[in-house]
Amino acid sequence: MGPIEFEGNNWMWSGGFYSHLFGIGGILLTTLILISTGYFNAFGAPFPALYWPHLGLLYKNKGKKRRPVRVYMDGCFDLMHYGHANALRQAKSLGDELVVGVVSDEQIVANKGPPVLSMEERLILVKGLKWVDEVIPDAPYEISEEFMNKLFNKFNIDYVIHGDDPCLLPDGSDAYASAKKVGRYKQIKRTEGVSSTDIVGRILSSMKKGACKDENHAANSDSFKTNMSDFLPTSHRIMQFSNGKGPLPNSRVVYIDGAFDLFHAGHVEILRSAKKLGDFLLVGVHDDQVLSEKRGRRAIMHLHERSLSVLACRYVDEVIIGAPWEVSKDMIATFNISVVVHGTVSENSCEAQTDPYAIPKSMGIFQTIKSPRDTTTLSVAKRIIDNFEAYKQRNKKKKVSEDRYYSEKAFVAGD
């Protein structure tokens, strides 16, 4: 039995101790407890616990701050999506501080196949999530006993977290067996409807081989179509991702809009730059129909998937789901927008169109900011198309394990 911490003396009138405080013996026992806990300060005489060791377990422990519970979750985080974000959100809820291990490129190649994003890009994406406190780059794919001890002793990790879907090594063994063996493993619920494998599959099946040899051609072609997503959006999920806070009356509200499709490092960096220009960052995410009409192609991820990815970013305060293409005067007044910004890197393909920022420009509140990276949704998709066969084989391999998971799937509590 460990020490019982309490803040007041009301504890003795409830619970299991209540029944022992009757009779003459109970009165004496009560008096001793009151004196030892400082209830009668006038006595000022501490009673050493060694005289009555069992009661010594009931000492007050004021001033001793509880060490934060640190949890660890790892992953490849390739083609970052809302499923990754939700997994890390759930992991954070199991502790006070979330440490995330980003698996190295070499380990991904050995266990899954070639990654789409570089380690640098994946680190930017993970660090950009609002629930992440610390990141360990080049983490191993397997939680070996050696690495587990490093987590426990060097990084002060209390628990290792993973989803309910199995994570197997090439030899078929469980990658988290060591953590489970010592009782330091906790499980969360996998987010349904999306995976990196699924996203790669959408791109491979929706774009003809070679269609992305020229980005301008790809942008104007109709070969870039979205497969049906299995994601079922709910208001509960949006609330979980939302900050739940609006701007203060005198806040400087910054507005930026876009598709934010295949949420990538370039998106994180431009959102960080935009946030620096004010106190509250409002992001408009265009709906699927608007993108199809204005850009001549559909998004790979649908509106709610893209909105959740943006909401998960630590620099974002609020999202307009299905934002209008043109920024109107009424919209500026409604949201009390101080400045409208746009990056220098754009994926718009239609040149002969109405300027969506004409009104904020006429009001003198429009600002162009330099995009920190030249990454675009098309450039990320192009990496997959240019290595069509390699990713086709990778997906074929991964699809076997995913199909097995869904065929054996049972209800798992959590969200």
Summarize the chain as % helix, strand, coil (round to 5).
40, 15, 45
Q: Do the Cβ atoms of 140 and 148 come closer than 8 Å?
A: no
Query: DSSP labels for 244-279?
Result: -----TT--EEEEEE--TT--HHHHHHHHHHHTTSS
Q: Exposure pattern of 95-130 as b/e (b: 16+ CB <10 Å)?
A: bebbbbbbbbbebbeebbbebbbebebbbbbbebbb
- On average, the pLDDT of the chain sits at 80
Q: Do the Cβ atoms of 359 and 327 come closer than 8 Å?
A: yes
Of 144-153, 299-308, 338-347, 406-415, give the lowest mean pLDDT range: 406-415
pLDDT, tens digit, 9 for 90 and up, residues 355-370: 999 999 999 999 999 9
Quote the tokens at residue 222: 């109709």
| pLDDT of 354 | 87
Q: What is the mean pLDDT of residues 384-395?
A: 78
Nearest of 394, 326, 393, 311 to residue 361 by alpha carbon = 326
Q: What is the mean pLDDT of residues 30-38?
A: 50
Residue scoring higher pLDDT (28 or 86): 86
pLDDT, tens digit, 9 for 90 and up, residues 205-253: 766 544 444 444 343 333 334 445 567 778 999 999 999 899 999 999 9
Of 153-162, 268-277, 297-306, give the lowest mean pLDDT range: 297-306
- For residue 26, the number of C-alpha atoms closer than 13 Å in the C-beta half-sphere is 9
| pLDDT of 393 | 72
Q: What is the pTM of this model?
A: 0.77
Nearest of 203, 245, 244, 220 to residue 395 by alpha carbon = 203
Quote the tokens at residue 69: 């519970």
**pLDDT tops 50 at residue 11:** no
Query: DSSP labels for 2-50?
Result: PPPP-SSSGGGGSGGGGGGS-HHHHHHHHHHHHHHTTSSTTT-----GG
